[in-house]
Homo-oligomer: A and B are copies of this chain.
Amino acid sequence: MNPLLEIFSQGEELVTGQIVDTNAAWLSQQAVAMGFTVTRHTAVGDNLSELVSLLVDIAQRADCCICTGGLGPTSDDLTALAVSEAFNCPLIFDAEAYEQIAQFFAIRQRDMPASNRKQALLPQGAERIDNHWGTAPGFSLQYGRCWFVFLPGVPMEMKHLFQEQILATLPQRFALQPGLLITFKTFGAGESALQVLINNIEIPASVHLGFRAGTDDVHIKLLFPAAYSRQKMMALIDNFKAQLGEFVFAIDGLGVATGDLAFEINKQMIVRQTSLAVLETLSHGLLAAKCMGYDWLLSASYQPLKFEPEPNIDLMVVAKAIAYEQQKLTTADYVLVQLYAGDKECLNNTEKTIELYTVLLTDTGFQRVSHLIAGSIQRKQNQAALLSLDLLRRYLDARSC
């Protein structure tokens, strides 16, 4: 039987609904993939007696508990105090933790407020988890049947600490039989359209199929049990690949690190030693923003070039002409140009669509694609960035075949 794990989140902003608890879902995914059975998520506010009673309860019913939040410097951050009361262990000043917090401020040339000293107070017997991403160190300790891990609530810090300092220690503490999780990362089709594509594939009862629709992609997940035949697994994966076709931009779980659409494009641009210049309109800078850190993006400019839909103007022809103009101004190998048709009303009205045109000018000629985008203005912006990038991704994929 799998060890039982609970997620416990602390924060008034969670129980009052000001923020959605994405940490709990993220941590659960990690835990399930490692071979834990996740039994419960609990979120409580900044209330000491609630925190204490919850910690005592969890110590009796779970084997492992990952807790997030409440490690900050302010008076409403109560986690260490609650642990101290619940498990009857005094808070001890940790000089090394204090030094790290002071260092965090020194690097940024900022004065350290006195309140941050509180973050160096850790429950006696706890093991410190260093935080290179913020001021709040985490800590872990065993109480009752349960091993507790306390992490900061800021998602970025929490993820770093979990991945870099907790993940590798879990198989040493618990008898885990992780299944193998394969994730097909797709772009360009919705959840139900993807479901239809794979409807005829027979999936063995022991393999768990799941979907996750995000803002930037849709993931299709296959969780194989620990002892599953490698050969049968590869056959099923091949079957999925064949059915999902070019919607798949990466397959995660097969030993090669994968990322988002821009990350996958980056791999290929580096191999090809190819560079790109971009003219953005509808995506409003977001296409360039998604390529942060990638040197092959030589330049990007945003201009509010929009067109009213007119029967006499072929926007593809216009986009092509602009791409040739842009090519004269840049040393980049490829030029990508984005145009759109629709007025301000179309942009802001969630019921109306915008028509997006993307052309890609490369050494082998023109690639072109148009899409209708619906939804909020933010969705239109984000989809425009992704759809234009996806034209480049499909071109690169096709050439690498």
Contacts and interface: CB of A to CB of B under 8 A. Distances in A.
B29 A14 contact: no
Contacts of A13: 210, 212
Contacts of A378: 156, 292
Given A73-B191, A285-B300, A293-B347, A25 B29 contact: no
A108 B353 contact: yes
Interface stretch (A109-117, A167-175, A357-365): A109-117
A16 interface: yes
A301 interface: yes
| Copies of the protein in its oligomer | 2
Contacts of A213: 72, 154
A248 to B, nearest CB: 18
A142 interface: no
Nearest to A347: B293
B32 A40 contact: no
13 contacts: A16-B28, A20-B20, A39-B47, A40-B50, A72-B213, A74-B192, A108-B372, A110-B190, A115-B196, A156-B378, A284-B292, A289-B289, A301-B301
A162 to B, nearest CB: 13
A177 interface: no
Contact of A193 (B42, B110, B344): B110
A289 B289 CA distance: 8
Contacts of A280: 285, 288
A286 interface: yes
Given A28-B16, A41-B43, A72 B191 contact: yes
A361 B109 CA distance: 27
A135 interface: yes
Chain A interface secondary structure, helix, strand, loop or mixed? mixed
A27 interface: yes
A304 interface: yes
Nearest to A294: B284
Nearest to A107: B374
A143 interface: no
A299 interface: yes
A246 interface: no
B192 A116 contact: yes
Interface string A245-289: 000000000000000000000000000000000001001111111
Contacts of A31: 17
Nearest to A288: B285
A381 interface: yes
A211 B39 contact: no
A233 B32 CA distance: 48
Interface string A122-137: 0000000000110100
Contacts of A211: 18, 72, 74, 76
A50 B39 contact: yes
A331 interface: no
Given A192-B135, A210-B76, A211-B74, A14 B32 contact: no
A289 B31 CA distance: 35
A237 interface: no
A86 to B, nearest CB: 16
B24 A28 contact: no
A84 interface: no
